[in-house]
Amino acid sequence: MANKLRAFISSTMEDLGNERRAVVQQLLSMGIEPINAEDMSPVGRPSWSTIRSEIDQCHLFILILGDRYGWEPDNGYGAGTGLSVTHLELQAAREGSKVVLAFMKKLRYGAAVDVKRDSLRREVSDWATGVFRQEFEWADELARKVGASMNSLFTDALLKQLVRSADEAYGASTVVSAAACTIASAAPRAGAAMLKPSTEKVLLAGAGMSVAAGYPTALLLMGILANDLWGQQQDANQLMVYNFSEVAAYYEAVVGRAALENRIKEVLDTPQTVLPTPAHMKAVRVFRSIVTTNYDRLFELASELQGLAYRVVHPFDAAPGDEFDGLTIYKLVGSALAPQTLILTSDDLLRVAQGQVFAKVKSLIAHNDLVVIGHSLRDGNVQILLQSRGSAHTAVYVSPSTAVIEDLVLSKYGFKRVRATADDFMSNFTM
């Protein structure tokens, strides 16, 4: 099963097109991969085989019920059962022990009676055998409620366990999870191998690399903090006006530092197993210095999986010397596994900029070629790091985005734009 949290969207399509689209956009904004029939690529297999395979490989099943019961196959899988494709998909999800999140559109006044539609609604709502469901009227309302459910998934221990149990039932993550736990607790081996490049290049890795691996987006983190503070799901467009550090600072002022650190650590304990991507695995082999603004330990794990020597430098450590013959990972915002190192608020960022490690990183970035992957460059501290760069060294900005507005920042620091995913770029990268 994929590292990234995947959610299968099941509903009738003709009457719920806008709702499906709204849910897709909501999930994408939170770093969750939506799986819907509209975007499935032809693979040369029967339709049901494709659908069933996708359901099996998803962690969640989002069921949206509207006015229609849906199409009933007259041949192939499900023919003669009297069940619609949506109903068959629900059965498959239950057989796979998937977490089912159900949403029912309020029926319009005077809606015609549909025996099968109403029977399915009763089945889903049944007190003994059904699931808790929410009602909605509009597509944007549905998106907010799906967002709230995702927030709960990252903060509710029981829901996390249900997702993990489904993974184990599918049989795809048990071995991987055990191996990851074993490796994560192991110390780097003395004298482990390290591929030493002939010339120095520095990697600056942002949230995009962690989101691609399966960690939540900053927007999801902000939404959870906001929900704690105000007791309701906030509109994504309103949250996007603020930086994560601003929301975190307010949370700290209202709830306290310990509660803030615990919440972040809790959310980063994802429902699904997250392992390094191919980009992480390649990066630790070809770079000697990696600067990251992510809280996770994917680069450390990638090094351990390959037996590579590394050291971790947190923001308030003493500046490291250069005698280490291995990879140095500069964790500019700390690590979730060491909550006391976390850089969360605006004040934290200001203190980091005064430290020895920040000065060391600034010098590295100023005097070496730079590759940036998964970072927006909007963070104030990162812009300070870039201020000392001259034209003597190259700077490459890697992103699959085609948004021309990114040139506003890229041109300021002389970046060459490369439109590619992290995995694709790193697969062809040489020092």
What's the pLDDT at 186?
35
pLDDT in tens, 89-112: 999 999 999 999 999 999 988 888
For the cut 70, the answer to whether the pLDDT of residue 411 exceeds it is yes
Our measurement of the distance from residue 372's CA atom to the centroid of its chain's CA atoms, rounded to an integer in Å, reads 19
Give me the pLDDT at residue 22, please: 95
Q: What is the pLDDT of residues 169-226, one digit of tens each?
A: 665 444 344 334 333 333 333 333 334 443 589 999 999 999 999 999 988 999 999 9
Q: What is the pLDDT of residue 170?
A: 67
From CA 331, how far away is CA 300, in angstroms rounded? 11
CA-closest candidate to residue 352, choices 191, 414, 361: 361
Q: Provide the β-strand partners of residue 329.
A: 290, 312
Strand order in the sheet with 6-10: 33-35, 6-10, 60-65, 99-105, 133-136
pLDDT tens string 392-405: 899 999 999 888 87
Ranges for all domains in the chain classified under CATH 3.40.50.10140: 6-170
Cα–Cα–Cα angle for 49, 30, 136, nearest 5°?
75
pLDDT at 43: 59
Strand partners, 204: 291, 372
What is the pLDDT, as a whole number, of residue 189?
37
| pLDDT of amino acid 389 | 85
Beta-carbon contacts of residue 383 (< 8 Å; ≥ 6 apart)? 377
How far apart CA 224 and CA 226 sit, in angstroms, is: 5
For the chain, first and last CA: distance in Å? 32
The pLDDT score that the predictor gives to residue 406 is: 79
Question: Is 61:101 a contact under the CB 8 Å cutoff?
Answer: yes
Q: Which CATH architecture describes the domain 6-170? A: 3-Layer(aba) Sandwich (3.40)
Ordered DSSP codes for 78-145: TTTTT--HHHHHHHHHHHTTPEEEEEEEPPPTTPPP-HHHHHHHHHHH-TTTS--EEEESSHHHHHHH
Residues 264-294 have pLDDT tens digits of 999 999 999 899 999 999 999 999 999 999 9
pTM here is: 0.84
Over residues 352-374, the mean pLDDT reads 94
CB 224 within 8 A of CB 313: no
Q: Burial of 376 by CB count in 10 Å (0-12 exposed, 13-18 middle, 19+ buried)?
A: middle
- What is the rounded CA–CA span in Å between residue 55 and residue 35? 9
Specify burial of residue 12 (Cβ count, 10 A radius: 0-12, 13-18, 19+).
buried
Q: What percent of the chain is predicted at pLDDT more than 70? A: 91
pLDDT score of 6 more than 50: yes
CA distances from 114 to 69, 77, 367 (A): 8, 23, 70
For residue range 248-262, what is the model confidence (pLDDT) as tens digits? 999 999 999 999 999
pLDDT, position 299: 97
CATH superfamily of 193-213+274-427: TPP-binding domain (3.40.50.1220)
pLDDT at 194: 39
Helices (H) and strands (E) counted in the chain, each on its own, are: 19, 12
HSE (side-chain half, CA atoms, 13 Å) at 165: 11
Domain with CATH 3.40.50.1220 in the chain: 193-213+274-427
Q: Over 80: is that where the pLDDT of 167 sits?
A: no
For residue 298, the SS3 value is helix
pLDDT digits (tens, 9 = 90+) for 12-57: 998 999 999 999 999 999 999 999 887 766 655 678 999 999 999 9
Given this model, what pLDDT does residue 184 score?
38
Q: Among candidates 318, 330, 332, which has minimal Cα distance to 288? A: 330
Nearest by Cα to 170 from 1, 320, 29: 1
Q: What pLDDT is attached to residue 318?
A: 92
* pLDDT surpassing 60 at residue 9: yes
What is the DSSP secondary-structure string of 159-221? HHHHHHHHHHHHTSSHHHHHHHHHHHTSPPPTT-B----SS-EEEEE-HHHHHHHTPPPHHHH
Q: Report which of 69, 58, 182 is spatially closest to residue 119, judged by C-alpha positions.
A: 69
Give the separation between CA 383 and CA 269, rounded to whole angstroms. Answer: 30
Pair of tokens at residue 402? 């085609």
Q: Please, what is the average pLDDT of the chain?
A: 87
